[in-house]
Every structure is written in C-alpha cells, then in structure tokens.
Amino acid sequence: MKQLEGKTALVTGGSRGIGAAIAQRLAREGAQVALTYKASPEKAAGVVKAIEAQNGRAIAIEADSADPRAMVNAVETTVRELGRLDVLVNNAGIGVYKDISEFTVNDFDAIVAVNIRAVFMAVTSALPHLKSGSRIITIGSCQAERMPGPGGALYAMSKSALVGFTKGIARDLGPKGITANLVHPGPVDTDMNPANGPAADFQRSLMAVDTFGTGDEVAAMVVYLAGPESRYITGAGFLIDGGTNI
C-alpha cells in the first residue's frame, strides 16, 4: 500500500517547477491531488495528464494567490471535487529583487499578498476540513535564514514570516493531531531559476555541493512530511539547499 493511499492533497502553484514535482510525487504515493495555477492552464493540464497516466486522480483549479477569495475557493473546490483534504502544500510564491531604495509599496503589497497572506488564507480555509493526521507543509526558502547577495530584502522578509507563522500554528494544531512544517529550498533548477541562467554561477559559488537541486528532491521531503513517519515532527524547517552559504 502506498503511504498516501486514501489521502487528498492541495498544492498551490502546482503547474510548474517545484509545485509540479510535488503534485506528481504526492500522486505517485497514492494521494488524490488538486493543484492551483494562475497563468499556465496548459502546464496545469499537463501535470494533471501526467498524474492520470499513472492511474492517479488530479484536478487543476485556476486561482490567483494574490486574491484572498481564490484561496478559499481552491480549498472548497478540492473538498467538493475530491471529497476531503488531508495535506495542504503552500507552494505558490513570487520574488521581486531590487535594491531597498528602489522598492515601492506596490512591490511590498504584492509579495505580502502572495507569499504571506495566501498561506494564511489557505490554512484558515482548510482547517474545518483537516482531521487528526493531516499535514500542512509550506515551501519557504533558504533566504529566510541567509541573504548572501543584495536585492532580496522583501523576499527574505516574506519567507522569514512563514517561519513564525508555522511555529505558531504548530502549537495551535498539535493537540488536534495536525502538524505544520516548512521546507526551505535553495537554488533549484526550474524555468524561473535555470541552472544555466545568468545568476547560476554566483549561486553555485555559495554551495557546498556545487550543483543545483531538483524539484524531485524537494518533493521527496514534502512527501516524507506528508506521510505517517513524520507524525512526531512539527514546527520545523528543513533546508534543501546544497549547503548554500553555510
């Protein structure tokens, strides 16, 4: 029996990159999967088809994470279409990199809306459906702890906020048998941050292992945290960053 057989997961931002890898890995472990997308319906459909080709069940939900109501709708749609919700993976996020003197209030509001408020909305919307044994897993960043270069003040702020939020909800939800944890990727080879991109050499210079990670490697940690063996882990953060800037 697969370790997530009979479970249902919702992955925000699941149409590409790390989110797509997480959605497909959860499905391979037996979970039904709902994934949200904003601007990539074709890619979202491709992830669904890939899961279905492996005899899994998946649905794609259009949802702009910057819209609070969209997160509520994503949870409601997941439960209505798939019957339940056991694993919430908050993966959707954005990054805006500028010198601090160049940031605008619109930049601040955009990052807070997607990287922080959307997580809050997804969690609070999911809570009525989560039972003992459920999991909340949020994708943070190694930059929540270390900022090796300029321009990332707001991004680091938003990911650091998720650390405090996760520790808080872990306390609140522990008595209910629900765990909450963070996964902090470092440089991962995706279309948003390719291993041959203009900043790749700088990023590799910071790593102990001198290579980009993969979405599947991040997904493997998410699956572990979603599974039964992680029952005693909550309020924790796990770095998957190749030893970046240790």
Domains, the chain, in order of start with CATH, read: 8-238 (3.40.50.720)
Across-strand partners of 65? none
Q: What is the pLDDT of residue 13?
A: 97
Q: What is the pLDDT of residue 90?
A: 98
CB atoms within 10 A of CB 105: 7
Q: What is the residue-wise DSSP string for 207-226?
A: -SS-S-B-HHHHHHHHHHHH
Q: What is the pLDDT of residue 220?
A: 98
Beta-strand (E) ranges in the chain?
8-11, 32-37, 58-62, 87-90, 135-139, 179-185, 237-240
CB atoms within 10 A of CB 50: 15
155 in active site: yes
Q: What is the pLDDT of residue 14?
A: 97
Task: With beta carbons less than 8 A apart as the criterion, state whether 187 and 193 touch.
Answer: yes
Set 37, 97, 155, 232: catalytic member = 155
Q: pLDDT tens track of the chain, all 246 residues?
A: 899 999 999 999 999 999 999 999 999 999 999 999 999 999 999 999 999 999 999 999 999 999 999 999 999 999 999 999 999 999 999 999 999 999 999 999 999 999 999 999 999 999 999 999 999 999 999 999 888 889 999 999 999 999 999 999 999 999 999 999 999 999 999 988 999 999 899 999 999 998 999 999 999 999 999 999 999 999 999 999 999 987
β-strands 87-90, 135-139 pairing: parallel
Q: Which of 31, 39, 37 is nearest to 57 (CA)?
A: 31
Task: With beta carbons less than 8 A apart as the criterion, state whether 23 and 47 touch.
Answer: yes
Reported as half-sphere exposure (CB side, CA atoms, 13 A), residue 97 has a value of 9
Q: What is the pTM of this model?
A: 0.96
Across the beta sheet with 179-185, the strand order is 58-62, 32-37, 8-11, 87-90, 135-139, 179-185, 237-240
Across-strand partners of 62? 37
**CA separation for the pair 215, 237 (Å, rounded):** 17
**Which residues 6+ apart lie within 8 Å of 210 measured at CB?**
204, 242
CA 136 to chain centre: 10
Q: Which pair of tokens denotes residue 122? A: 């997804």
Q: What is the pLDDT of residue 149?
A: 86
